[in-house]
Amino acid sequence: MEPDSPLRGLAETLADRSDADLADLLTRRSDLASPPLRGTTILAQRALSAASIALAGEGLDLATVAVIEAFLECGSDTARSDVVGPVTRDQLVSVLGRRLKRPALDQRLADLVAQGLIWDSGAGTARKPAWIAGIHLSAALPWRGHHLVGPLATRSPEQIHELLDALDERPRELLATLASGPSLGRSRDAAPDADPAAPVPRLIGDGLLARIDEQTVELVPMVGVLLRGEPPLLTATLAPPPMSDGPGRFGPEAIDAAGAGEALELIRHSAALLELLGEQPAAMLKSGGLGIRELRRLAKATGLPVARIGLIVEILSAHRLVDSGHPEPEPAGSTGEPVFAPTAAVDAWGHSTTERKWHGLAQAWLDLHRRPWQIGDTDRDGNTLAALSSELFDATAPLTRRQVLDMLAQAPPAAPVDVDALAANLAWHHPRHLRRWTRRFVGETVAEARELGLVAHGALTAPGRTLLNAGTDDDAAEVLAVMLTALPTPVDHFLVQADLTVMVPGPMTPELTEQVQAIADLESGGAASVYRISEASLRRAFDTGLSGAEITALLTSRSRTPVPQSLTYLVDDVARRHGRLRVGVASTFVRCDDPALLTAVLTSDAAAEVALRALAPTVAVSPAPVRDVVEALRRGGFAPAGEDSTGALVDLRSRGARVPNRARAARMPQRRAPVGPDQARTLVHRLRAADRADQEPRTSIKATGDTNAAALIQLALRTGRSVRLGYVDAQGAASRHVVKPRALQAGQLIGAADDGSEVTFLLHRINGLELL
């Protein structure tokens, strides 16, 4: 074929595609759909722009990148400057060799054609087509050089290591600088005629650097990965690296059970942290975050690692269960500054079912625009990154988090995947972000997913897989059902021990949870939790209105072991002493049926602390609030109980500080909203209508001017034919339309567009009319 032979353009190729193929193109390259398209010519122009091609390159795997590099290598030999190519399949095979199997090559060529990155030039034959591409095709590559068809492309990591080990100190320093920073470097020794003994020409000759132009070199990505100590990028074969060695020791049920256990621990630790923050809110840094000192305080109080506290705080904040503000009631020792405390939504969350609690926390983590595992790291200025600080914000965090888990979901069910294999597969499927897929990045993301119950034993759990596939809130029911199946069956009993502890062999029913937490304090959590009954915990239970007989009945009916006599004695003793003093609201009054006991109270230090004074042998009053009087008397060794105006016991337990609920922030929109199938079909319909409107006239029945135009419209109305018209709107924008007239009235043409919608045109703005 001669160099100046006519070749098919992309616009011509797109016009010949079916509606389904065009809809698929718009779905896969959503940026082409905005602003609204006016024909396939405009679509082709957008598809050939460097910016759009670069966006399309985000979804290309390593094998497709190699095909593009081979295409550019073969297409650069042609004499044309307006396109790359034509390139045949045989030419690509000669460059790639046996590194990419023929079916895989054909699949990627078809994919590139479907995305409009290459197209049939018309210069080949039906059995051996020749493709061409736009001059900006290289924008789809993740790097500037053609490294996958370069001298190191067929080398193994061991062979590349041998080249690196043979280098002198100065060349190794140059490579290390490019590996730790930008891979592009500028040097006057990059020109082909530079001194071959200089370090840069030697590295270019060894294939460790690629020459981009006479002053620019680029580090070969396979070399950079090895220098950074990350899993190697294998290019000797362009097949994806193995994901897993096969089924592991644990089956799907064991993996789901382990994930459910982690979910229960997450909920328990979240509840404990919320309770602690309610009692003593965390101070806010001047920069707006939660400092490391506060994290350590919370970790010490809860017995959890600092890293886990940071993760839970970030998730609770994203779920709107923790927020900053001025809490009510104001805690003791408050300085009036904003603090981090639970929101009012915590009370409703505490009464939710286990699976709903987990779903909310897991969804909040998936959508979190931050990376909690970076808490405690330092930024470029050496400042420590604090939890809930703006420095942790990362708009790409939800996307990359899902990419890691989606890659894990491609492994066979219950097949464990280690971090190196996962990082290698991510680098193969998303080579544009090669530097992101480090062992730490991937490993920390998987570790967070493990702490949320999404991953267990190196595999994705069934609830995690379902959550990833849930696109809308309507799918929450399926996620909840799968998680409910994975959770262990709640138990409605416990085992009372001789040392006054209660052992619960599994997660408790909501009713039993409330009952046990009312009479005992958690001592050890986990799959089998241990609670301890003490005088303080029993007094707390009596404060809620429980009687000694009710507590004894609870222990007897729920325990699978005999209730120790020592525990029965303790319950009776605390019940006998509890409530003999009654504290009510006067400001505060204290009444007691035993005058001797009240006399002892009035002579104690506690009475002086709250200014108690006697009104009668069995009644005293204080100006202090009820809660302060109760706490002072308890510190003095007494066991008072609160009562209301009717004499009934009231629960004086503190619910903790709360900050007001803020309006839930809308999910941050994606950088570009995807085009759905229905929207794509509508766009294609309008695209076809615009193409028909821009076709060359096929008849000689035309009209210009209002009178002739009206006559031609009347003819179209009588014959039922359509018209093509040119129109200038009020802003002076010209356009062409194909319309089937329905009426002509009041100087307006009312007609139906191709999609059936009604359109109206002012007659005096029509600058051309043709009967079709």
Tens digits of residue pLDDT in 357-367: 999 999 999 99
pLDDT of residue 645: 67
Task: Give span(s): CATH 2.30.30.100, the chain.
Answer: 695-771
**590 pLDDT more than 90:** no
Residue 246: Cβ within 10 Å count = 8
Q: Contacts from 343-348 at CB under 8 Å and sequence distance 24+?
A: 343/658, 343/659, 343/660, 343/661, 343/662, 344/658, 344/659, 344/660, 344/661, 345/320, 345/321, 345/661, 346/274, 346/278, 346/321, 346/658, 347/655
Q: Which CATH class is domain 695-771?
A: mainly beta
Mean pLDDT for the stretch of residues 394-422: 92
Mean pLDDT for the stretch of residues 544-569: 88
Task: Give span(s): CATH 1.10.10, the chain.
Answer: 10-148
- Mean pLDDT over all residues of the chain? 86
**298 pLDDT more than 80:** yes
HSE-CB for 538 with a 13 A CA cutoff? 27
Better-predicted residue by pLDDT, 672 or 515: 515
Alpha carbons 489 and 509: distance in angstroms, whole number: 9
Give the Å distances, CA to CA, from 540 to 134, 388, 472, 543.
77, 35, 43, 5
Judge contact between 439 and 231, C-beta under 8 A. yes
**659 pLDDT more than 50:** yes
Grouping H, G, I as helix, E, B as strand and the rest as coil, residue 134 is strand
* Most confident listed range (59-73, 517-531, 562-576, 638-652): 59-73
**406 pLDDT more than 90:** yes
Looking at 1.10.287, 1.25.40, 1.10.10, 3.90.870, the CATH number of the domain 10-148 comes to 1.10.10
pLDDT band at 2 (very low <50, low <70, confident <90, very high): very low
**312 pLDDT more than 60:** yes
**692 pLDDT more than 80:** no
pLDDT in tens, 171-229: 999 999 999 999 999 988 888 888 888 889 999 999 999 999 888 999 999 999 999 99
pLDDT band at 99 (very low <50, low <70, confident <90, very high): very high
pLDDT band at 332 (very low <50, low <70, confident <90, very high): low
Name the amino acid, one letter, at 614: A
DSSP 321: S
pLDDT band at 1 (very low <50, low <70, confident <90, very high): very low
**286 pLDDT more than 60:** yes
The share of the chain scoring above pLDDT 90, in percent, equals 40
The length of the chain is 772
- Sequence-distant (6+) residues with CB within 8 A of 238 are 62, 63, 66, 96, 99, 100, 104, 148
- What is the bridge-based pairing of β-strands 529-532 and 581-584? unpaired
- Sequence-distant (6+) residues with CB within 8 A of 290 are 282, 284, 313, 340, 386, 387, 388, 389
**664 pLDDT more than 80:** no
* Four-residue CA torsion sign, 299, 302, 307, 310: negative
**670 pLDDT more than 60:** no
pLDDT of residue 383: 84
pLDDT of residue 671: 52
